[in-house]
Amino acid sequence: MDSSGLGSATTDDMAKMGIYNCDGKGHCEKIPGYIIKAASTYYKVDASSAAPALVTVPEKTATDCKDNVGLIINESTNKICLDDGVVGAITTGNSFIFGTSGISADAPFTNAANRMVTITDTYIAIDTEFAGKFFNLFFFFGRFFKKKIKE
């Protein structure tokens, strides 16, 4: 493979790949997500030792995202389902928070509700440093106050 990205990766190369979260002390953990080989070529990676699987992107719309959080769909362009009726563009640098609609059985993610997903030029994965929190916001005498209601 050359340094131009994953576009030149062979099928054998892709079978050996994974997405890892490393703590800076040499401890790395395989995490679920999608490897982006090319503009519209995705490989699903789960946290097991299984080889990444090539993804067939279905033609769907945002209305099909109910109980399909984490699924990559083609709605004129490829997007990722974030919640019931909500999609996000698969563009390098984008980050989104998954909603609470059910996770797609075809997505690599588990326990993804209220978790941030980050998109780079080579992968889509849960941001392990961010955990979404719910807050009630109260407006009182011109000031906002936050009351934590759920972790």
- Tally of CA atoms within 13 A in the half-sphere of 96 that contains its CB: 22
Query: What pLDDT is attached to residue 131?
Result: 53
CB atoms within 10 A of CB 70: 28
Q: What pTM does this model have?
A: 0.79
Query: What pLDDT is attached to residue 130?
Result: 65
- List Cα–Cα distances, 6 to 11, 71, 76, 128, 148, in angstroms: 11, 21, 24, 23, 42
Which residue range forms the structural domain that includes residue 19?
11-150
Ranges of the chain whose pLDDT falls below 70 = 1-5, 130-151
Structural domain includes residue 6: no
Structural domain includes residue 5: no
Structural domain includes residue 110: yes
Structural domain includes residue 1: no
